Chains A and B, each alone.
Chain A
Amino acid sequence: MRLNANISKLFFGVQTVGNMVLGIHSNVSGDSNDYTAGHAWLTITHDGTTTHFGLWPDAHPSVVDNGEASDIRVGMEASAKAVASRYYRLSDAQAKHFNALMQANVAWRYTNTCASWASEIVEVVVGEDVDADDWSGFETPRELGASILELEAKQPTSLESPKPLKQNPASSLMKRKG
């Protein structure tokens, strides 16, 4: 699926950007999982329709190697089962901010994994730190999953009852482009 076409339809079609919920997810949690195991991703839910966004390396056999184009892929996680999820209500401004970030050209690297990216997007868009830092400074899905569960224990969220709106943090879109 072409990312830009999908995003444009999602955000700039006949529907408004209002009433959107951002989700951050991991399918592993904690040190009982291997350091390199699992995956982390984001979702946007609008009017009952959920779109999945994940950062995938070009080398993965399940994706098309698109060379220098963005490694943000849409829909790969549609059937995945998260063990940890957290949800945030987005303002219109935050939804547009998210849209802009999804259209950036982001490269998967060992220093910018699916977990790094998902964590940073949430921090930039809604201002909550969902820590993904594992030992040695790498960011992993298992650590992100553990952080999600920790946050959920303090303040539970769900798709139906996301974390309420918060003022959009003053951050620059340009930080994520590169």
Chain B
Amino acid sequence: MQKTIVTLLLSLSPALAACGAAMKQYDKSDVEILSVRQLPSGSTEILYRPVLDSLYYCPGVRLRQDAGRQKISFVRCGIKEKCEIDVRAERVDKGAFKLLVPFVPENIDMVFGDGETHLPK
């Protein structure tokens, strides 16, 4: 019975059937920063672990400048979507990703759906 209802809903609402397709933002608690390392080049290597989603993945980050600060936003992308990113993340382990951004750590803020935080040292 439940499957019948769901099938009906899917046929009536393609948008619902495609749930998970849109890009979303992570909240602060969704992204665990595992390590931050400044490289001799002045770039920063960030090791992080986003929350596990079976309908989303994190391909990388968007970058923007604001009042002299470098803002990075972790992209939460639907699994069937290609989302626009500025820096691609590299998977280093199951669930963990590495990111190389061309700024020193002190200038980086992380932007989330529920606010901003400085990159931890």
* A interface residues (Cβ-Cβ under 8 A, vs B): 27-28, 34-39, 54-57, 59-62, 75-81, 108, 110-111, 113-114, 133, 136-138, 141
- What are the residues of chain A within 8 A of B53 when measuring CB–CB? 36-39
With beta carbons under 8 angstroms apart, the residue of A35, A38, A54, A76 that contacts B19 is A35
B91 at the A interface (CB under 8 A): yes
Residue ID in chain A nearest B19 by CB atoms: A36
The residue of chain A having its C-beta at the shortest distance from the C-beta of B22 within the complex is: A36
Residue on A with the closest CB to B17? A110
Instruction: Indicate the size class of the contact surface on chain B.
Output: 20 to 34
Instruction: Report the minimum CB–CB distance from B6 to chain A (whole Å).
Output: 5
Q: Is the CB of A138 within 8 A of B54?
A: no
- B39: interface (CB < 8 Å): no
**29 A-B interface contacts by CB (under 8 A):** A27-B51, A36-B19, A36-B20, A38-B51, A38-B52, A38-B54, A39-B54, A54-B54, A55-B54, A56-B54, A57-B54, A57-B79, A59-B80, A60-B54, A61-B57, A61-B79, A62-B57, A62-B94, A76-B95, A79-B93, A79-B96, A110-B6, A111-B7, A113-B54, A114-B54, A133-B2, A136-B6, A137-B6, A138-B6
In contact, A136 and B16 (Cβ under 8 angstroms)? yes
- Collect the chain B residues with CB atoms within 8 Å of residue A35's CB: 19
Residues of B within 8 A of A (CB): 2-3, 5-7, 9-10, 16-17, 19-20, 24, 32, 49, 51-57, 59, 79-80, 91, 93-96
How far is B53's CA from A20's CA once the two chains are assembled, in angstroms?
27
Question: How long is the Cα–Cα vector from A66 to B49 in the complex, in angstroms?
Answer: 25
Closest to A116 in B: B2
* Chain A contacts for B80, CB-based, 8 A: 59
CA distance A56 to B79 in the complex (A): 11
Instruction: Establish whether residues B79 and A59, one from each chain, have CB atoms under 8 Å apart when the complex forms.
Output: yes
Contacts of A28 in B (CB 8 A): 51
Q: Which residues on A sit within 8 Å (CB–CB) of B91? A: 62
CA distance A145 to B49 in the complex (A): 21
Nearest first, the 3 A-B pairs at minimum CB distance are A79-B95, A39-B52, A80-B52
Q: Find the B residue at minimum CB distance from A1.
A: B94
Q: Could you say which residues of chain A place their CB within 8 Å of the CB of B2?
A: 133, 137
Q: Is the CB of A75 within 8 A of B94?
A: yes
Give the chain A neighbours of B59 by CB distance below 8 A: 61
Which residue of chain B is the closest to A108 with respect to CB atoms?
Answer: B54
Q: Is A34 within 8 A of B24, CB to CB?
A: yes
Q: Which residues of B contact A34 (CB under 8 A)?
A: 24
- Give the distance in Å from the alpha carbon of A37 to the alpha carbon of B20 in the complex: 8
Give the residues in chain B near A79, CB-CB below 8 Å. 49, 93-96
Once bound together, how far apart are the Cα atoms of A25 and B55, in whole Å? Answer: 17
CA distance A60 to B96 in the complex (A): 15
| Cβ distance A128 to chain B, nearest Cβ, rounded Å | 19
Bound-state Cα–Cα, A77 to B49, Å: 12
